[in-house]
Chain A
Amino acid sequence: MTIHLENAINRTATRKGGSAVRTLKGFAPLLPFTMVFSFFFVWPIFQIFKNSITGADGKYGLGAYRLLFTKAYLHAFQGSLRLSFFSAITAGLIGALIAFYVHRSSSSMRSIISMASGVLANAGGVPLAFMFIAAFGAQGGIILLLKKIGIDLYGHGFTIFSFSGLVIVYSFFQIPLMILVFTPALDGVRKEWNEASESLGATKTQYLRWVLIPVLFPAYLASTLLLFSSAFSAFATARALIGGNVSLVPLVIGSLIDGNIAVGAEANLGDALAVGMVVISAIVMVFYGLSLRWARKR
């Protein structure tokens, strides 16, 4: 009873404190988050947008963006998009297929595979690149093994330090990522649907074509888009593996930061490239959100 009274008194006391103070006080637990987020995220991002439309003379202008549409930089965007597309499609298909089997396995098998996926999806960066150099390099164990049985990959022009090499390396963490994000969607598939379609006389192909694929497609699309965005912004693995062999936007930005080129219109080129990446990545994420919503409606 007394506690309730005290609470009531406290409440009226704060109410008397004026609405501005009260709002501020109420906002207090959000303050540390908001401050860190604004200063270390919003502010730098605002700066790249601002710099990207500022010319070397300090006046506003689109000079940096005009450079973006020259051959070399368009080529880098093309390379990044192509790499993200191919690695997302390959890893997405293989990952979905494995997820399909994982889903139908025994529960102990499932937990082993989901744990392994969780661990492998976290592989990345420079160590991953070195691991693949050791395995698929000219002197790598797998390459030597294949040579012994008569397959000379390097003789056929394959090298891990290339576009297709990068797709293989990205698959190493993207397939597990696909398994992780796609398996929950499979859990929504009811056994009864298969039984119902069978009792209606549908063949396996018909069940696949008219039931399973339409039901799972939105979730599949969403998962693939997630893979796309993870490949699109990956930097460390690509840098360690291919250096300058393949032109990719993150690598170009990296070399611009390192080179500290600050002449003429190129001064803010890095910012314009960074904005370009943000825009593309944002578009992908919007589609990701839309397909997630679509998937939930199913």
Chain B
Amino acid sequence: MKRLFSSGFKYLVLAIALIFFVLPVVSALEFSLRKTGGHGHALTNYSWIFQQEDFSLNLMISLKLAALTAAITLLTVVPAVAYLHIEGQRYKRLFEFLAILPLVVPVVSLAIGAQKAMPEFIQNSQYELAFFYVVISIPYTFQSLNVGLSSIPLKTLVEASRSLGASFRKTITMVILPAIRSAVNAALFLAITLSFGEFTLTSLLHWETFPVWITRVSQGNILGSIALSMFSLIGAWLLLIIVQSAQTFKSRSKSQPKEAAV
């Protein structure tokens, strides 16, 4: 069979892509290791990060908000999607449509609405952010759960559990949730990464979380800010790689017995 393009061209494309993605990272890493004054390299800028007194404070705030976002997602999105698959099929299309809407509305627009529409007592609490993070991540979490629930023999499971006398809540927590655990994990992970990196809404509502703090402290120390950026980018990437490879590993080990059976 003739090839559509020669393989030399293929390697050229891949090489250029590699350069485009690797070079900025390497170059920025080199920059972040430069010493103030210009000569030589050292880890000074990285140790500067940890010397900042608000570092752990803001990291804690972001962690707390991420945990809260995951908890709210678990309590709101998970039961809703499960219900839509089990009993509420008539509402399914409506809710699928609703779940896409946060993608249609730019976060900047939501921010200006939030600033004007939220009552005072909510605007005074930093925890309002977690609810907004939940809403912003709904297009992704909803979709992930939707796919997960479509892939299991839901009807059989529910009928079996109901005929054994379980209530809706019990069916969800003891039968459905364990069956779609990986989809739930993926959804929660999406919600957590989103909440951890959210900058637009947070900064426009004048709250300080880890990403907002990074921007503020970096105004005084450009080398430090680049070290901080590389720290948070590479940290997030490592986390994503770990989760993704865990998932690939899991799905591989799951599919292996099947292949063995065939």
A interface list, Cβ under 8 A from B: 3-4, 6-7, 26-27, 29-30, 32-37, 39-41, 43-48, 51, 94, 97-98, 101, 104, 111, 115-116, 118-120, 122-136, 139-142, 145, 171-172, 175, 194-195, 198, 204, 207-208, 229, 232-233, 235-236, 240, 249-250, 253-254, 256-258, 270-271, 274-275, 277-278, 281-282, 285
Beta-carbon nearest neighbor of A275 in chain B: B109
Give the distance in Å from the alpha carbon of A41 to the alpha carbon of B138 in the complex: 11
Question: B168: which A residues are within 8 A, CB to CB?
Answer: 29
List B residues 154-183 near A (Cβ within 8 Å): 162-165, 168, 172
Interface residue? B245 (CB, 8 A): yes
Interface residue total, chain B, C-beta cutoff 8 A: 87
B interface list, Cβ under 8 A from A: 1-2, 4, 10, 13-14, 17, 20-21, 23-28, 30-32, 72, 75-77, 79-80, 82-84, 87-88, 91, 95, 98, 100-118, 128, 131-132, 134-135, 138, 162-165, 168, 172, 193, 197, 199-200, 203-204, 211, 214-215, 218, 225-226, 228-230, 232-233, 236-237, 240-241, 244-245, 248
Beta-carbon nearest neighbor of A32 in chain B: B76
Known: A7-B163, A236-B199. A207 touches B104 (CB 8 A): no
Give the distance in Å from the alpha carbon of A115 to the alpha carbon of B240 in the complex: 9
Question: B225: which A residues are within 8 A, CB to CB?
Answer: 130
Query: Across the interface, do A130 and B117 meet the contact criterion of CB distance under 8 Å?
Result: no
Q: Which of A7, A141, A277 contacts B26 (CB 8 A)?
A: A141
Question: A270: which B residues are within 8 A, CB to CB?
Answer: 112
Query: Across the interface, do B24 and A208 meet the contact criterion of CB distance under 8 Å?
Result: no
Give the distance in Å from the alpha carbon of A128 to the alpha carbon of B215 in the complex: 12
Question: A36: which B residues are within 8 A, CB to CB?
Answer: 72, 76, 131, 134-135
Top 4 nearest A-B pairs (CB, nearest first) are: A44-B113, A233-B106, A141-B27, A33-B80
Question: B1: which A residues are within 8 A, CB to CB?
Answer: 194-195, 198
Give the distance in Å from the alpha carbon of A116 to the alpha carbon of B21 in the complex: 10
Query: Across the interface, do A277 and B245 meet the contact criterion of CB distance under 8 Å?
Result: no
Interface of B is mostly: helix
Query: Across the interface, do A141 and B28 meet the contact criterion of CB distance under 8 Å?
Result: yes
Query: Across the interface, do A119 and B32 meet the contact criterion of CB distance under 8 Å?
Result: no
Give the distance in Å from the alpha carbon of A208 to the alpha carbon of B2 in the complex: 13
Interface of A is mostly: helix
Give the distance in Å from the alpha carbon of A30 to the alpha carbon of B13 in the complex: 48
Known: A40-B132, A131-B28, A236-B199. A29 touches B116 (CB 8 A): no
Beta-carbon nearest neighbor of A25 in chain B: B168
Give the distance in Å from the alpha carbon of A235 to the alpha carbon of B110 in the complex: 13
Question: A285: which B residues are within 8 A, CB to CB?
Answer: 100, 103-104
Question: B132: which A residues are within 8 A, CB to CB?
Answer: 40
Beta-carbon nearest neighbor of A97 in chain B: B13
Give the distance in Å from the alpha carbon of A284 to the alpha carbon of B116 in the complex: 27
Give the distance in Å from the alpha carbon of A3 to the alpha carbon of B164 in the complex: 7
Question: B244: which A residues are within 8 A, CB to CB?
Answer: 115, 118-119
Question: B91: which A residues are within 8 A, CB to CB?
Answer: 30
Closest chain-A Cβ to B249's Cβ sits at a distance in Å of: 11
Query: Would you list 8 pairs from A and B whose C-beta atoms are within 8 A, ordered by A residue?
Result: A32-B79, A40-B131, A115-B244, A118-B240, A131-B229, A131-B233, A253-B111, A270-B112
Query: Across the interface, do B27 and A127 meet the contact criterion of CB distance under 8 Å?
Result: no
Question: B100: which A residues are within 8 A, CB to CB?
Answer: 285
Q: Which of B10, B115, B203, B240 contacts A122 (CB 8 A)?
A: B240
Query: Across the interface, do B229 and A130 meet the contact criterion of CB distance under 8 Å?
Result: yes
Question: A141: which B residues are within 8 A, CB to CB?
Answer: 26-28, 30-31
Give the distance in Å from the alpha carbon of A98 to the alpha carbon of B91 in the complex: 40
Give the distance in Å from the alpha carbon of A128 to the alpha carbon of B25 in the complex: 10
Query: Across the interface, do A26 and B87 meet the contact criterion of CB distance under 8 Å?
Result: yes
